[in-house]
Structure 1
């Protein structure tokens, strides 16, 4: 009896430990290949899913463990996005960046929606695809700029500002979409009055939650971080911040929002904390352990039989993902950035990774009527393709720009 009852736990620990080791190996190998590690993480999950078809190892207990780790990885990802943002700097840059951001979100969202409709998806799945394609990926877009030493240039700062706004607005749009999905999918028809009423209630709730987060960041966070610096040593002080961030994320989920928006707002609340807290080694280790499991979970949810059927939908969504961001970013960037930098700025917005897959994953919790397996597979293909190819293209474009006296290493003249 003891041996039999211990077997599921042993398999669970073995798979989690093996996945962790593979994630570390993927991080090193993909760094040498200059590819985002998340591509490898998704492939790890897909490998486990395919392995399960040969040897059934993913019983409910094991899947439950991976689901829990994926949820914690989601919180870690969005908390870090918020923690790395600078709301005050964003507000100061808003007049210039907001034109590009708003146009980019509208164009890429519409491109994603109509591409999904053309691929044969119904209204709600198409809305999910449209919202998912509004976001970009800071983690994929910025490393080529950092490697080129151009992130501090005016163009590099513009890319950072627009990417951060894309991610924040993507999470907010996701919260609104998730709130109205039950209304959109209820009954045989869509009651647009109910949708508008639900949307208005969600906006008011989100505004109240935002006000509460602002009050915490304005009056409670500064004395809290001072007390942590005075009375706690690393790693305890960062662990307290992470614990509070997890509680805020859970509160957002209980209020009807997702863990994702709670984790993002929690990170924003602590974004002004001193760097000694941000760069605490304990948090880096915790993040490195948990974050891969979100993407491993994406791979685990892929239906192998649906991947072939997702090729057509994935191709259409990939075209929409590229054209939506390139056109949506390049046109307004033509007005506020040097013309020689417009293409590299627009191309930097193409990658879809963390936020896009968070939106698909969270919407997928409502069932296959909201996110069919072909849409899930197609969006995963978009993430893999844009993340694998775009950094190399941006790197080459930046190399051309460095040879140009008006390139990103020089101050932008603006127009």
Structure 2
């Protein structure tokens, strides 16, 4: 029976149906498999006491090309996944007030800076130890710098600790980490293609990114308070539309500034958080996010090519790289957030998942010829392990911390 299913299921894959019944039918069936796998595996993970996101990432591995081969990460699913990440961070922003981030500003900056410097140095050293060129080794370090705030944010949401001080430090550090990390990626990619990157160009990239964040907050926060009375006259459905348009618009603008759209979405949510208590639209945004966010996590799993992990040498080197990746972020959290006491370990652990950000960095390096197949496979294994294991560790640590504080 199981062999029959393995033979029959690929016939119902998105690609097969697209060839026989049209592209739309294939896209819909691919989406069906993704949503079904996310629902079942997410629920199973929750029943086993694990974060749902772990089950959803593993669902992508299960239905992807490396296992059942039901779905491939085509442009349609990649676009939906990015939309899922946008609304996930928009929802996280709605649960975060700017004044709360300001209260942890010092710790967030320190965690972000150390979470870039330490992994970058460790990755660079690892690459040089493997006799890679300087630029290739620097790219490995850049892959270690990446942080997937979406994965950590979802775990924090599930645990109901978004208001905790350590969670605010993680979110603040992740925003700074993304800005500096993307700047670093642009510089290293330029070096890999033979471009000369001067201090002026680096400063321009960084200035545009920081300027965009400052502009959204300094303009958006006073503006939302000024129009709050008018917004109260809108129906829930219309206010929901206003919120969605705002989130998508700021997310789109963030790409112009060289930032990931999730940063813009997070900032937009944080602006609207100032009026969410007076305007009942949050539940509708949450419903939309509950549908789209699991697609994002499944597609993260879909993009992992398991075939590159068959070499023992790759597995050993990838395991060593994973240890360095974890050590860099955890140590950055322990040192940067040491004022939080035992919660500093939670901060460091929350910065560990590389997720889709690590996959993007690795893919860019491979496509540009900066890193080759074996190194790409090592980075891929590091991304997979940090994405799956870090949420598990974070859940255990949050519960132990909560028990310790009660006792």
Q: TM-score range by the shorter chain?
A: 0.7 to 0.9
SS in structure 2 at match of 1:50: coil
Q: Quote the Cα distance in structure 2 between the aligned partners of 1:388 and 1:315.
A: 18
Q: Quote the Cα distance in structure 2 between the aligned partners of 1:116 and 1:80.
A: 38
Q: Quote the Cα distance in structure 1 between the aligned partners of 2:85 and 2:104.
A: 28
Q: Does 1:388 align with 2:388?
A: no
Comparing 3-12 with 312-321, greater Cα deviation is found at 3-12
Q: Does 1:160 align with 2:167?
A: yes
List aligned pairs for 1:111-260, cutoff 5 A: 111-115=122-126, 118=129, 122-132=136-146, 137-140=152-155, 146=161, 156-157=164-165, 159-187=166-194, 191=196, 194-231=197-234, 233-260=235-262
How far the C-alpha of 1:301 sits from its partner, in A, is: 1.4
Correspondent of 2:61 among 37, 42, 46: 46
Q: Quote the Cα distance in structure 2 between the aligned partners of 1:97 and 1:28.
A: 33
Mapped contact 1:71–1:294 kept (Cα < 8 A): yes
Q: Which residue of 1 aligns with 2:47?
A: 32
Distance 1:120 1:331, change over 3 A: same
Mapped contact 1:249–1:261 kept (Cα < 8 A): yes
How far the C-alpha of 1:84 sits from its partner, in A, is: 2.7
TM-score by length of 1: 0.78
SS in structure 2 at match of 1:235: helix
List aligned pairs for 1:6-405, cutoff 5 A: 6-50=21-65, 58=72, 63-95=74-106, 98-99=109-110, 102-103=113-114, 105-115=116-126, 118=129, 122-132=136-146, 137-140=152-155, 146=161, 156-157=164-165, 159-187=166-194, 191=196, 194-231=197-234, 233-275=235-277, 277=279, 280-309=282-311, 310-331=314-335, 334=338, 336-337=339-340, 341-342=341-342, 344-352=343-351, 356-364=354-362, 366-368=364-366, 369=369, 372-403=376-407
Q: Which residue of 1 aligns with 2:4?
A: none
Q: Quote the Cα distance in structure 1 between the aligned partners of 2:108 and 2:71.
A: 49
Mapped contact 1:248–1:266 kept (Cα < 8 A): yes
TM-score by length of 2: 0.79
Comparing 114-123 with 244-253, greater Cα deviation is found at 114-123
Q: Quote the Cα distance in structure 2 between the aligned partners of 1:362 and 1:38.
A: 19
How far the C-alpha of 1:89 sits from its partner, in A, is: 2.2
SS in structure 1 at match of 2:31: helix
Distance 1:50 1:43, change over 3 A: same
How far the C-alpha of 1:286 sits from its partner, in A, is: 0.8
Q: Quote the Cα distance in structure 2 between the aligned partners of 1:245 and 1:164.
A: 18
Q: Quote the Cα distance in structure 2 between the aligned partners of 1:208 and 1:162.
A: 21
Per-residue CA deviations over 1:136-191 (Å, capped at 9, x if unaligned) read 92443576684xxxx87xxx52x12321222111221233134324422222xx73
Distance 1:125 1:37, change over 3 A: farther
Identify the structure with bigger relative contact order (alpha carbons < 8 Å, sequence gap 6+). Answer: 1
Computed over aligned residues only, the root mean square deviation of the Cα atoms, in angstroms, reads 3.4
Distance 1:50 1:366, change over 3 A: closer
Q: List gaps (5 residues or longer) in structure 2.
A: 1-17
Q: Quote the Cα distance in structure 2 between the aligned partners of 1:273 and 1:234.
A: 13
Q: Which residue of 1 aligns with 2:7?
A: none
Q: Quote the Cα distance in structure 1 between the aligned partners of 2:109 and 2:257.
A: 29
